[in-house]
Structure 1
Amino acid sequence: MVTAEDLQAAVDCVIGALRPAVDADWAVPAGSIEWSCRATAEHIGQAHLHWASQLAVRARTKYVRWSAEAQELAPPAGVLDFVEAAGRILALVVQASPAGTRAFHPWGIGDPEGFAAMGCVEALVHGQDLASGLGRDFEPPSELCERVLARLFAHEPRGADDPWLALRWLTGRTSIPGRPSPESWKWRPAPLDETWNPAPVADPMPFTPLSR
């Protein structure tokens, strides 16, 4: 089971790896993705805050319509504060949400454990992007990666016995000799013992501008 404590551990792992790099140039690309390190870090915080909002109000058909970002002139240390705070907020909301809570995600109606696990993936995978761009080592706990894979990706192929390698392979961050990389993937926010609709119809769809 993936818990709020697991999410806090994932965030701690990211913050611990990146704090020593706050004086580096965060305008460089984050690993193999197109975003800068600053934009990638900000994205982690935004995702965590959006998911905390989903759970807090039990939004079933759409995203709560608000936006969050680090202050424009915040230095990298301030952006990391934003990431850390957002992760803590999501963990607290997960912890406070009854097991029967359900909330919308574009890939399925999730429960608190599902949102905690998604938060872990967001932190760990983009944490690796950031570490790669900033020249830092990043190695999250293997047991944490195993729990996340079991909760969110039971339906996806397992590329390797090493959980961290498997998670990076599955999300397009690395290759494995002899194994073709997945063309696409989706995580499963819905509980494993419930019917899963991987594309729930939302009204309106997330982030679609509303007309006046």
Structure 2
Amino acid sequence: MTVTADDLDAALTTVADALGPAVGADWTVPAGLLDWDCRHTADHLGDTLLSYAAQLVARPADRYVRFMAAAERDATAAELLEFAATAGRILALVVRATSAHARAFHPSGTADPEGFVAMGCAELLLHGDDIARGLGMALDPPRPLCARVVARLFPDVAAGLADVDPWVALHWCTGRAELPDRARRGRWQWRGAPIGG
């Protein structure tokens, strides 16, 4: 199952549709169970997605491109959401313009464009959900998208989760949920490197 830039577009739409109506709320509340508030979580999304795009453009073999991106301190919630969405769109454009054979550093393994876009989808969906929960809302992403992300980033456990709702499975894979027959994962790492080499 391949994760594509179209999947990132779908993740962006899911997050924007869920959080857009809440831009008038107080985003200084904690984002779900995170130590961060909703503002910081949205800012993190923008920085992370731009970082993934930069990795694919510069293609360093052993480090991250040395920069930090951040929204301005007085950015509104709507502007923070715009920052995260813009970063996601930049990543999608870079993925579409990059050869599938390109590789760049990520701590979870030297990643290809599919790995970066899958990680981008996971970041968007999970942190979008953190923000939504902090604001008393819920995110409801497309299950086929979640299934593709789980299959790509967690190939070691994906087959054993075939009977689990893919959105719940993504939460379990990232240590955010328990399953009836599986304890919450205390330690986990997704796989950025291409499956099969």
1:97-112 pair list within 5 angstroms: 97-112=98-113
Offset of 1:149 from its aligned partner?
0.8
Q: Which residue of 1 aligns with 2:175?
A: 172
1:77 maps onto 2:78 in alignment: yes
Aligned mates of 1:74, 1:165 — CA distance in 2? 32
CA RMSD in angstroms comes to 1.1
Q: Which residue of 1 aligns with 2:195?
A: 192
State the TM-score, normalized to the length of structure 1. Answer: 0.89
Offset of 1:127 from its aligned partner?
0.9
Q: Which residue of 2 aligns with 1:66?
A: 67
Residues 154-207 of structure 1: CA distance to partner in whole angstroms, max 9, x if unpaired? 11364552111010112122222332111211111111110xxxxxxxxxxxxx
1:140 maps onto 2:145 in alignment: no
Aligned mates of 1:193, 1:60 — CA distance in 2? 19
Offset of 1:15 from its aligned partner?
1.0
1:1-150 pair list within 5 angstroms: 1-150=2-151
Aligned mates of 2:122, 2:29 — CA distance in 1? 22
* Structure showing greater Rg: 1
Aligned mates of 1:135, 1:83 — CA distance in 2? 20
Matching residue's letter, 1:37: C
State the TM-score, normalized to the length of structure 2. Answer: 0.95
Aligned mates of 1:108, 1:10 — CA distance in 2? 23
* Count of residues in Structure 1 that have an aligned counterpart in Structure 2: 194
CA contact (8 A) 1:3 1:116 kept: yes
List alignment gaps of at least 5 residues for structure 1. Answer: 195-212
Matching residue's letter, 1:185: W
Matching residue's letter, 1:21: A
Aligned mates of 1:133, 1:175 — CA distance in 2? 20
CA contact (8 A) 2:175 2:188 kept: no
Matching residue's letter, 2:180: P
Q: For 1:91, what is the secondary structure of its paired residue?
A: helix
